[in-house]
A and B are shown apart, each in its own frame.
Chain A
Amino acid sequence: MILKRYLLGAAALLSVLGTSAQVSVDTGRRPFIITADSLASGNYKDVFTSFFQLAFNDIAGPGKGIAFASNPYAMMAKSNPALLVDTNYVKYRHLRDLNFNVGVSVDSLWHLNGFSAGLKYAIVNKRDVSISRKFIGENIRNTSQLKNFNRQVAIWLSRNIARDAAFAELLNTKVNLWENNDTFSFSMMPADVRDTVMAIINNPDNGLDTMAKLMKDDPNLIFKKTSDGIYKELEGRWQNKPLWIVAANSSFSAEGSGNLKAISPNNVMVYSEFLAGLNDPKYKIKWDLDLLASYSMVSDSSLPRENIEVHKFEFRPGFNFVLKSSGTTSAEASKPYLEFKISGSYFHTFSALAPGQKADDNTINGELRLRIYQDIWVPVSITWDPASGNVFGYLSVKANFTALNNAMKKLGLGS
Chain B
Amino acid sequence: MQANVSIVFLNGVGQVEAELIRNGNSIDMRATDKTGTLQFPDVLDEDIISLNGACTGNGEIMIDIPVLPPSPVNIQTGNFFLNFIVGK
Q: Which residues of A contact B (CB under 8 A)?
A: 84-87, 89-90, 129-133, 135-137, 139-140, 143, 146-147, 149-151, 153-155, 157-159, 161-162, 165, 168-169, 172-173, 175-176, 179-180, 227-228, 230-232
A85-B8, A131-B13, A140-B54 known; A153 and B83 CB under 8 Å?
Answer: yes
What residues of chain B lie closer than 8 Å to A84, measured between beta carbons?
10-11, 57
In the assembled complex, 15 residue pairs joining A and B whose CB atoms fall closer than 8 Å, in A order, are A85-B8, A86-B57, A130-B12, A136-B13, A136-B14, A136-B15, A136-B33, A139-B79, A151-B52, A157-B21, A162-B46, A169-B85, A169-B88, A172-B69, A231-B79
What residues of chain A lie closer than 8 Å to B52, measured between beta carbons?
140, 143, 146-147, 150-151
A227-B78, A228-B79 known; A169 and B68 CB under 8 Å?
Answer: yes
Secondary structure call for the B interface: strand
Secondary structure call for the A interface: helix
What residues of chain B lie closer than 8 Å to A131, measured between beta carbons?
12-13, 56
A140-B53, A176-B69 known; A154 and B83 CB under 8 Å?
Answer: yes
Q: B24 touching A158 by the CB < 8 A rule?
A: yes
Interface centre among A153, A154, A157, A169 (most CB of B within 10 A): A154
A136-B13, A176-B69, A227-B79 known; A150 and B50 CB under 8 Å?
Answer: yes
- Chain B positions 54-74 with a Cβ under 8 Å from a chain A Cβ: 54-57, 68-69
What residues of chain B lie closer than 8 Å to A140, measured between beta carbons?
15, 17, 52-54, 79
Q: Which residues of B contact A (CB under 8 A)?
A: 8-15, 17, 19, 21-25, 33-35, 46-48, 50, 52-57, 68-69, 77-83, 85, 88
Q: A86 touching B79 by the CB < 8 A rule?
A: no
With both chains docked as a complex, state the minimum distance between the C-beta of B42 and any C-beta of chain A, in angstroms: 15
Measured between alpha carbons, how far is A165 from B56 in the docked complex, in Å? 35
With both chains docked as a complex, state the minimum distance between the C-beta of B24 and any C-beta of chain A, in angstroms: 5
